[in-house]
Amino acid sequence: MPNMTLELNASDDRGINVVREEIQDFVSTRSVFSNTFKLVILDECDAMTKDAQMALRRVIEKYTKNARFCLIGNYVSKIISALQSRCMRFRFPPLEEQFVRPRLQHVVDVEGVSIDAAAMDALIALGSGDMRRSLNILQSVHMAYGKVTEAGVYNCTGNPSPTDMQEVFNWLLNERFSTVFKKIMQMQLEQGLALADITRELHPLIFRMHMPTSIRIDLVSKLADIEHRLTLATSEELQLGALVGAFTEAREKIVKVAE
């Protein structure tokens, strides 16, 4: 069976030469003692160049009698339509907590890692259903601090902690514009937080707060615009002003509705 399977990480081997040489050489021959198909597994195929993908399409067409291909990727939009049309698509949702927690606990027990309950919850929350991400964070925190704690998890990943986010949320809803701006800016400088992470973590807090639907819609729409602009290398200071301004406007609308 190992001789009938070729597994490549396309993010490392993603050039056209790999497709023309290694993959084509593998699928062009059939096993003498077996009539079964060969299997080619390409992990992270969305990292392949466009030329490599076009070459792979021709290989798939030419050797369809000899081999089957399994393409694994995170972003289907990065795979050319000609290649997508020759595949059957399977979508796998993020893992639920009931599957992530037991596996993380198994790794912790086998490796003898010292971890508390709050840190385990943080690993699951930051992993967002991605088991590899949770394990990578666990390993990084263990190597950096020895004992895995909630504070260590958030410090190692650079994400704002739930306590910090609740504090920021309270500032945005109760403090004056200039005061909130200075406090969030100071928190970013002291803890090395990115505004994009703060903006993203505010989203679920908005839905937990009771407010008119129209105001919630407008606020979420403005947060989405801010997050988009942050990906375009805009000024974080200006976008922080836009963030505080969006909450200030929402707060004024809530007061008017209450009156």
Residue 233 is part of a domain; what is its CATH number?
1.20.272.10
* Of 54-58, 81-85, 164-168, 255-259, the least confident: 255-259
Quote the Cα angle for 135-136-139, to 5°: 85
Q: Rounding to the nearest 10 degrees, give the CA dihedral for residues 248, 250, 256, 259.
A: -100
Give the pLDDT confidence score for residue 123 in this predicted structure: 93
- Answer yes or no: are the C-beta atoms of 168 and 181 closer than 8 Å: no
- Per-residue pLDDT tens digits for 225-243: 999 999 888 888 999 999 9
- Give the pLDDT mean for 244-252: 92
Give the pLDDT confidence score for residue 226 in this predicted structure: 93
pLDDT above 80 (res 18): no
Q: How do strand 38-43 and strand 5-9 relate by DSSP bridges?
A: parallel
* Alpha-carbon gap, residue 28 to 38, rounded angstroms: 10
- Per-residue pLDDT tens digits for 72-130: 988 888 999 999 998 898 988 899 999 999 999 999 999 999 999 999 999 999 998 99
pLDDT above 90 (res 30): no
* Residue from 22, 13, 21 nearest 45 by CA: 13
Burial of 202: CB neighbours in 10 Å, binned 0-12, 13-18, 19+: buried
- Give the pLDDT mean for 187-198: 90
173 and 213 co-located in one domain: yes
227 and 141 co-located in one domain: no
183 and 251 co-located in one domain: yes
Give the pLDDT confidence score for residue 12 in this predicted structure: 67
The alpha carbons of the chain give a radius of gyration, in whole angstroms, of 25
- Per-residue pLDDT tens digits for 40-54: 898 888 888 888 888
199 and 147 co-located in one domain: no
Domain assignment present for residue 235? The answer is yes
Residue 115: give the domain boundaries. Answer: 97-157
* Alpha-carbon gap, residue 10 to 102, rounded angstroms: 30
